[in-house]
Amino acid sequence: MTENTKSQTIISSSPEKLSLLGWNESFESTAAAADLNGRIARVISVQRNLFLVGDGQEEWLCAPSGRVLKSNNGDYPVTGDWVCANETVVTAVLPRSNILSRAEAGSRYSRNGSITREQPIAANIDTVLIVCGLDRDFNLRRLERYLTLVYNCGLNPVIVLTKADLHDDPEQYVMEVESIAFGVPVILSSMQDERGRSELECYLGQGMTAAMIGSSGAGKSTLANMLYGNDIQATRTVSSSVGKGRHTTTTRELIRMPQGGLLMDNPGIREIAFHEDGHGIENSFADIQELAENCRFADCSHGHEPGCAVLQAVESGELAPERLESYRKMKRELDYLSMRRNKSADRVEKERWKDITMLIRNMKK
């Protein structure tokens, strides 16, 4: 079989049709190098052990092949994946350009010694829209965790502040967010007057894929409806007693948008747990990283060391103590995650308690 014939076998739909779902030359080169045989399609949604896939021309349901079902290397198909499929079965998953993932729920406070299991959210994403409502959902510390999660995955974040109509001066919230999200676009949005629609549409151009993440009731489904220009996602009211939303979106699905791109709504995230240590914290806390360059000690923990420029910034009011505490918590969490991958759980726990004992002794001096 010649190379050209093989390429025709892999891509049964025209590249123009596939490009409507985000197909590009990079994916085409990857597919050719992988020497696959089948029909290229993108996973539109995952429904238990079935996948709704599409090739820009039609959509159909597939089951995983035995090889895909038994895969244990993290490439089980998720929404946004490019796959090889026939009329009934997904036979292979193409290498991903990226993946948005977190640790499985309940692992954030786990100290049972087991490695946290990855929970993939979406694959092959261009932009992650971090959606936060300007009601009881607004929380700078939570936004810091979202940013670290997105940066750890090597993705580009955009923060969307919904329900701007609830305030006479919502711009003050933009300034607060900009003070902890350096260089990240922050967009105010309101369903009442479609505020923010034009700014967000630039992330939904032809072939682009954006995924929304945020708490339940943050306004993700309402935002999707506004950007689409019609009610395509069900919405529910937020509880007035506790200020929390209920899960309206129950599946992750790529929605073809009139702007030419694709938008993925996601169920609300209650716990932002990390799976990878990565370099996300360095990007999320760039101000602390910059201050740390002037610390007396290169390995300064910014806890009690003399000559700590970060602590001096807190004392002078340049850095909020809440932000430093947020940094410390995430740093400890990510360091523990990194160590746990390279050492036994017993050894990690022993060293952790040794560090705590030393810290207490230094505080008593």
pLDDT at 292: 94
Q: Which fold has domain 285-364?
A: Ribonucleotide Reductase Protein R1; domain 1 (1.10.40)
Residues 259-269, mean pLDDT to the nearest whole number: 90
pLDDT at 144: 96
CATH 1.10.40.50 location in the chain = 285-364
Question: What is the per-residue pLDDT across 299-339, written as a single tens digit (0 to 9) for each?
Answer: 898 988 899 999 999 999 999 999 999 999 999 888 887 77
CATH superfamily of 99-265: P-loop containing nucleotide triphosphate hydrolases (3.40.50.300)
Q: What percent of the chain has pLDDT over 90?
A: 55
Question: What is the per-residue pLDDT across 117-163, written as a single tens digit (0 to 9) for each?
Answer: 778 899 999 999 999 999 988 999 999 999 999 999 999 999 999 99
Question: What class has domain 3-93?
Answer: mainly beta
Whether residue 233 has pLDDT greater than 80:
no
Closest CA to 213 of 127, 328, 336, 307: 127
Rounded to whole angstroms, how far apart are CA atoms 298 and 92?
A: 47
CATH 3.40.50.300 location in the chain = 99-265
Higher pLDDT, 34 or 25: 25
CATH 2.30.30 location in the chain = 3-93
Band of pLDDT at residue 247, cut at 50, 70 and 90: very low
Closest CA to 219 of 136, 143, 141, 161: 161
Tell me the two tokens of residue 36: 């696959």
pLDDT at 363: 63
The 3-class secondary structure across the chain, one letter per residue, is CCHHHHHHHHCCCCHHHHHCCCCCHHHHHHHHHHCCCCEEEEEEEEECCEEEEECCCCEEEEEECHHHHCCCCCCCCCCCCEEEECCCEEEEECCCCCEEEEECCCCCCCCCCCCCCEEEEEECCCEEEEEEECCCCCCHHHHHHHHHHHHHCCCCEEEEEECHHHCCCCHHHHHHHHCCCCCCCEEECECCCCECHHHHHCCCCCCCEEEEEECCCCCHHHHHHHHHCCCCCCCCCCCCCCCCCCCCCCCCEEEECCCCCEEEECCCCCCCCCCCCCCHHHHHCHHHHHHHCCCCCCCCCCCCCCCCHHHHHHHHCCCCHHHHHHHHHHHHHHHHHHHHCCCCHHHHHHHHHHHHHHHHHHHHC
Residues 195-207, mean pLDDT to the nearest whole number: 95
Question: What is the per-residue pLDDT across 55-67, written as a single tens digit (0 to 9) for each?
Answer: 999 999 999 988 8
Whether residue 10 has pLDDT greater than 90:
no
pLDDT at 307: 94
Handedness of CA 119, 125, 128, 129 (dihedral sign): negative
pLDDT at 47: 85
pLDDT at 128: 97
Whether residue 205 has pLDDT greater than 50:
yes
